[in-house]
Amino acid sequence: MAIDTSRAFKPINIALLTVSDTRGPDEDTSGDLLAARIAEAGHKLVARTILKDDADIIETQLRKWMADENVDAVVSTGGTGLTGRDVTPEALDRVKTRDIPGFGELFRWISYKTIGTSTIQSRACAVVADGTYIFALPGSNGAVKDGWDNILLEQLDARNRPCNFVELMPRLREK
């Protein structure tokens, strides 16, 4: 990460979504990891919830956060696999303004170093949805670490050079 120390850090407001049919608050270790990393980075966790693998329910929650001026980005964990119940990418497709294809590509490249060809089973993805960034990570603790530590930590830091997601935020709704 190339941090430009002449620039000020700009904390952003992040909502955290865990998608799981089997995890509750006591078992949400990937959500706990994300929450801790968000705080450690200096950002504000403004909302956190756990939802079942149901595209309609996920879409409804995403739309609420997209409409909330206090939410700059959503980071989700879970529901990005290949089974019939893994529907997080489909929910993102319903709300997106545009894809951020490089996110999923970079995530799988990073993940390959950790889990080898098993990374091909991940449908990690990211979109811009009505001016809000939405990032969908797999539900494992390792995937959360790979996605946050190696992509989001840098891209959600306004000091990161040569560019970052934060500096684009004021212009995401432009037509």
Q: What does the pLDDT read at residue 109? A: 98
CA-based nearest residue to 81, from 115, 120, 112: 120
Query: Could you tell me which residues are beta bridge partners of residue 16?
Result: 48, 75
Q: Does residue 14 lie within any of the structural domains?
A: yes
CATH of the domain at 155: 3.40.980.10
Determine how β-strand 13-19 pairs with β-strand 73-77.
parallel
Q: Which domain holds residue 132?
A: 10-168
Q: Does residue 3 lie within any of the structural domains?
A: no
Angle, CA of 95, 147 and 107, to the nearest 5°: 80
Say how many domains are in the chain: 1
Q: What does the pLDDT read at residue 1? A: 61
Distances (CA, A) of 16 to 137, 156, 175: 11, 14, 28
Q: Does residue 2 lie within any of the structural domains?
A: no
- Encode the chain (175 residues) as per-residue pLDDT tens digits: 688 989 999 999 999 999 999 889 999 999 999 999 999 999 999 999 999 999 999 999 999 999 999 999 999 999 999 999 999 999 999 999 999 999 999 999 999 999 999 999 999 999 999 999 999 999 999 999 999 999 999 999 999 999 999 999 999 988 7
Contact 135, 145 (CB under 8 A): no
Contact 65, 71 (CB under 8 A): yes
Q: What does the pLDDT read at residue 105? A: 98
pTM of the full predicted structure? 0.96
Q: Does residue 4 lie within any of the structural domains?
A: no
Q: What is the Cα 116 distance to its own chain's centre?
A: 22
- Cis peptide leading into 162, omega within 30 of 0? yes
Q: Does residue 175 lie within any of the structural domains?
A: no
